[in-house]
Amino acid sequence: MYEQLGETREWIQAQTDLVPSVGVVLGSGLGGLVGHLQVEREISYQDIPHFPVSTVAGHAGKLVFGSLGSTRIVAMQGRLHYYEGHPMRSLAYPIALMKMLGVKTLVVSNAAGGMNPDFEPGDLMVITDHINLFGDNPLIGLNDERLGPRFPDMTEVYSRGLIDLAEDRARALGVSLKRGVYVGLSGPAYETAAEIRYMQSIGGDAVGMSTVPEAMTARYLGLDVLGISCITNMSTGLATEKHSHQEVLKTAQAAAKRFCKLVADVVRALGDEQDGTSF
């Protein structure tokens, strides 16, 4: 994997001179953040050597290089999912590539079902922790110490400093931001009412089919992580209607303006911090 990453990095660096410090993974219906960037280069996943390809509706499948203020960014406009048939190691590949390109901070977003009865569709939630119910792990297999340690610590998967920053910027912008624990499942079927009751009982506030493998990989690699969920529907047993991906996309797109406003402000603040400017 390390050798393949090196080949991919060399190919990318021949396409763009931009060295990103922040990586962003955009979930279903949330790809509009790219419209806030000063874009330098867009590259389709299918053109990148060794890079897995996304097949899900609502995911553009492009790696976008650009800037927000003084912050240099690489964004995944469309993520990869376990339920597409990708091995867990493939889900780790884009995050490891970001690290090799220079990324130090990962901002990961998703569309999620709300399990906390205080939530409602359209809410934004900063992820304080997660529960892995995939039944798999992207770090299983032979370990390469050039990437990270055999037994990585997960005490603080989601950076407390970044959570504080996101909440500070949300208050300044007048954007409501909930807090909660994200539960990751393999999908692609939506959860049963019994499964939702179980996940509520173990401390889950939102549930989805992504993010956990990316966040675990990022911490293994030594990246700081900020996670934000867009609550696109209430989960089975709390919802009054049956679930559909079209409804998820519709709600995510309706909330996208607030999401993009918040994430763009946080990312700009990260650039200001790196430049020594007060925020």
Quick one: tokens of 144? 């390469």
* Per-residue pLDDT tens over the stretch 182-217: 999 999 999 999 999 999 999 999 999 999 999 999
Could you give the percent of the chain with pLDDT greater than 70? 94
On whether residue 207 sits in a domain, the answer given is: yes
Q: What is the pLDDT of residue 198?
A: 97
For residues 48-77, average pLDDT: 85
On whether residue 119 sits in a domain, the answer given is: yes
On whether residue 45 sits in a domain, the answer given is: no
Global confidence as pTM: 0.92
243 included as an active-site residue = no
On whether residue 241 sits in a domain, the answer given is: yes
Number of structural domains found in the chain: 1
* DSSP notation for 58-110: T---EEEEEEETTEEEEEEES---GGGT--HHHHHHHHHHHHHHT--EEEEEE
Query: Is 233 annotated as belonging to a binding site?
Result: yes
21, 54, 59, 166: the active-site residue: 59
On whether residue 243 sits in a domain, the answer given is: yes
On whether residue 220 sits in a domain, the answer given is: yes
Query: Is 81 annotated as belonging to a binding site?
Result: yes
* Per-residue pLDDT tens over the stretch 150-193: 999 999 999 999 999 999 999 999 999 999 999 999 999 999 99
Q: What is the pLDDT of residue 143?
A: 96
On whether residue 232 sits in a domain, the answer given is: yes
50, 70, 83, 167: the active-site residue: 83
On whether residue 52 sits in a domain, the answer given is: no
Q: 125 forms bridges with which residues in the sheet?
A: 178, 229
Quick one: tokens of 24? 């962003």
Give the residue numbers spanning the domain of 135. 80-97+104-139+152-247
Whole-angstrom distance, CA of residue 168 vs CA of residue 57 = 33
137 included as an active-site residue = no
Q: What is the pLDDT of residue 115?
A: 96
* CATH number of the structural domain spanning residue 227: 3.40.50.1580
Closest residue by Cα to residue 218 from 79, 45, 77: 79
CA distances (Å), origin 51, targets 27, 222, 224, 266: 18, 21, 23, 28
